[in-house]
């Protein structure tokens, strides 16, 4: 159990420079051990209270995750790694649903601002991702499950960590205004047209086939059970879990 989800030396070499230094107060518990405990919870899907003692006190594991999530630490780490390592000038854009567990949305009626909304699968959260040519996510954005892909695209692209010359996306992003905005920004859209279009859209088919990489990205992220099903009530904490999973799966 002690090394089930332990960070390898190579992974820790990437993560260690981001650890906060010279903070006031008592000395922190071993960062590598505690983050390994966080990863154990994300991967196994267990409750925080069930985190094995080998990773340290379970309250310390949760509090470290929650406190650094509140500071935006995990998302900032992903953004920094993606900015430094963004590959190529081609990118892919897509989204995927995750089912929100009852403990996440809870309550009856009323507004739910925590990136949870009704869809065909019930109460869901939608993960919007922008990946580089190698399929590594540089942007991960959460919206309620009933949010349109195409209307969210500008917000995702605004956070792009590197240069984009070509953007591959599926028919859900087929909108004249989005195509015009992309071209105005110097980005060539690789987006097939919807079947009902009167004017057929031509797109680069060979480059579009490379879009499978972003599908594989979502599959890899959902290997983490607490990513595949959302248990976190706060969108902030779920986004942090998603960022940490992306760092370990793609950038280490």
With 0-12 CB in 10 A as exposed, 13-18 as middle and 19+ as buried, what is 121?
A: exposed
Tell me if 122 sits within 8 A of 139, measured CB to CB: no
pTM: 0.92
pLDDT band for 185, please (50, 70, 90 cuts). very high
**Does 196 or 222 have the greater pLDDT score?**
222
How do residues 145-155 score in pLDDT, each as one tens digit?
999 999 999 99
Q: Supply 32's token pair.
A: 């590598």
* pLDDT above 80: residue 45: yes
**Does 183 or 197 have the greater pLDDT score?**
183
Q: For position 239, what pLDDT does the model report?
A: 98
Which residue is listed with tokens 């009902």? 196
Of all residues in the chain, what percent carry a pLDDT higher than 90? Answer: 79
Mean pLDDT across the stretch 160-177? 95
Mean pLDDT across the stretch 125-143? 97
Q: For position 2, what pLDDT does the model report?
A: 47
| Count of other CB atoms within 10 angstroms of residue 10 | 8
Q: For position 108, what pLDDT does the model report?
A: 47
pLDDT band for 4, please (50, 70, 90 cuts). low
Tell me if 149 sits within 8 A of 172, measured CB to CB: yes
Tell me if 89 sits within 8 A of 165, measured CB to CB: yes
Mean pLDDT across the stretch 222-241? 95
Residue 114: closest CA among 95, 130, 98: 98
DSSP 8-class letter at 170: -
- Bridge-partner residues for 98, per DSSP? 125
Q: For position 107, what pLDDT does the model report?
A: 47
Residues with Cβ < 8 Å from 206, sequence gap 6 or more? none
* pLDDT above 90: residue 22: no
Q: For position 121, what pLDDT does the model report?
A: 75
Tell me if 177 sits within 8 A of 153, measured CB to CB: no
Q: For position 110, what pLDDT does the model report?
A: 42
Tell me if 183 sits within 8 A of 203, measured CB to CB: no
Helix (H, G, I), strand (E, B) or coil at 174: coil
* pLDDT above 50: residue 224: yes
Q: For position 29, what pLDDT does the model report?
A: 78
Mean pLDDT across the stretch 44-49? 94
């Amino acid at each position: 159990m002690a090394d089930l989800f332990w960070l390898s030396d190579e992974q820790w070499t990437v993560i260690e420079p981001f650890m906060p230094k010279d903070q006031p107060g008592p000395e922190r518990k071993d960062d590598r051990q505690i983050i390994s405990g966080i990863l154990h919870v994300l991967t196994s899907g267990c409750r925080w209270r069930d985190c094995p003692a080998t990773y340290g006190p379970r309250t310390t594991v949760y509090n470290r995750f929650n406190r650094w999530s509140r500071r935006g630490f995990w998302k900032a780490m992903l953004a920094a790694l993606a900015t430094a390592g963004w590959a190529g000038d081609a990118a892919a854009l897509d989204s995927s649903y995750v089912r929100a567990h009852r403990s996440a949305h809870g309550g009856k009626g009323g507004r739910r601002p925590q990136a949870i909304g009704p869809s065909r699968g019930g109460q869901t959260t939608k993960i919007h991702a922008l990946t580089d040519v190698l399929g590594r996510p540089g942007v991960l954005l959460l919206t309620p499950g009933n949010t349109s892909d195409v209307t969210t695209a500008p917000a995702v692209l605004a956070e792009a960590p590197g240069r984009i010359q070509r953007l591959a996306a599926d028919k859900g992003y087929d909108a004249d205004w989005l195509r015009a905005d992309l071209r105005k920004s110097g980005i060539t859209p690789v987006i097939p047209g919807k079947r009902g279009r009167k004017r057929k859209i031509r797109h680069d088919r060979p480059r579009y086939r490379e879009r499978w990489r972003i599908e594989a990205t979502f599959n890899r992220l959902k290997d983490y059970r607490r990513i595949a099903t959302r248990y976190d009530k706060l969108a902030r904490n779920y986004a942090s879990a998603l960022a940490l999973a992306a760092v370990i799966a793609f950038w280490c």
